[in-house]
Amino acid sequence: MVFPRPPVRPGSPVRVRTTALAAVAALVALAGCGTGGGLESDGPTPTAVGPVRLWPELPPASDPPADYGETDTERVPGITVRNADVRTVDPVAVVRAEVAAHPDTYTGADGMYEETARAILACDTAPAACPVLSPYYRDLTGNGRDELIVGIRMPEQQVAVRVYLAERGGLTRVMSTVDQVISVELAGRDLIVRAASAGIPGYEYRTAWSWDERQHSMLPARDEIVPVRTPPDAPRGSGTGTPRPERTSQSTPEQTPARTSQSTPAPPPERTPEPTTERTP
């Protein structure tokens, strides 16, 4: 995003300094004329072209068409953070607390496949099958303290990415997204999620999540469709070495749930829900 410079009022210090600098430059140019190397022109300067508004008669929108819940945040129940240090909490316990607080929830920021929820609740007895990935820590909010970044493996090659902020002695989840992830990267204070694109071969989705102080949450500040990165040593025409699973808007056992943001995690495959007693930790 490019922010325009503020207008300069006539007679302001900026205008005076600019005039003075121009005069000095002119003197230097004249002084250099006596030497062997004079100033040379680089040619005509291209004319600046500003943005043109199309259909200016259209009235502004009064209401957004849908709320995707990018700014939804939630306090994680039952989790205490000592000295606002997220490294003191167990990421498995954090996700397990969310699963227990939202039993039989398959959509929204807390949505979870049944088999994923069962595996999370059984992480202590079956750690090899635990879908919670090793955590990462990074100051994404600029408050001088690290936030907790958690990944959760799900069926259909999907990964849930969640970010937790330590505040008021506990944890607040400030980001939740689910996608068919190619990679997750940290760039400064941005969390960049690369996801597969089945509809546009040779391209991928790339979303940069950034902290927004006004909303007190991580927002998808930049969402792009870009060409797939090809490894330098890959044979010509081989595309990318990373598999790109199909990405659809259906949620059947044969098809992959749609790409989702914080308010729309992947819906589960169609099946008869199991008794809720099995979801109780």
pLDDT digits (tens, 9 = 90+) for 255-275: 333 444 444 444 444 444 444
Span 142-160, average pLDDT: 95
Q: What is the mean pLDDT of the chain?
A: 76
In a domain, 48, yes or no: no
- Looking at the 3D structure of the chain, how many domains does it have? 1
**Banded model confidence at residue 205, pLDDT cuts 50, 70, 90:** very high
**Banded model confidence at residue 163, pLDDT cuts 50, 70, 90:** very high
Q: H or E element: which one contains 95?
A: helix 91-101
Per-residue model confidence as pLDDT tens digits over 37-73: 667 777 888 887 888 999 999 998 887 766 666 667 8
In a domain, 281, yes or no: no
Higher-confidence position of 175 and 8: 175
Per-residue model confidence as pLDDT tens digits over 167-197: 999 999 999 999 999 999 999 999 999 999 8
Instruction: Tell which residue, 126, 102, 104, 129, has the closest CA to residue 114.
Output: 104
The Cα-based distances of 48 to 3, 9, 51, 52 in angstroms read 16, 22, 10, 12
Whole-number Å distance between alpha carbons of 197 and 124: 35
Contact 127, 140 (CB under 8 A): no
In a domain, 32, yes or no: no
Q: Which domain holds residue 98?
A: 74-233+240-272
Whole-number Å distance between alpha carbons of 82 and 65: 42
In a domain, 59, yes or no: no
Instruction: Tell which residue, 48, 152, 104, has the closest CA to residue 277.
Output: 104
Whole-number Å distance between alpha carbons of 203 and 224: 10
Instruction: Tell which residue, 249, 267, 251, has the closest CA to residue 104.
Output: 267
pLDDT more than 70, % of the chain? 64
Tokens (6 digits) for 242: 């990373």
Q: Is pLDDT of 14 > 90?
A: no
In a domain, 19, yes or no: no
Whole-number Å distance between alpha carbons of 232 and 227: 14
Per-residue model confidence as pLDDT tens digits over 209-225: 999 999 999 999 999 99
Strands 190-196 and 181-187: antiparallel
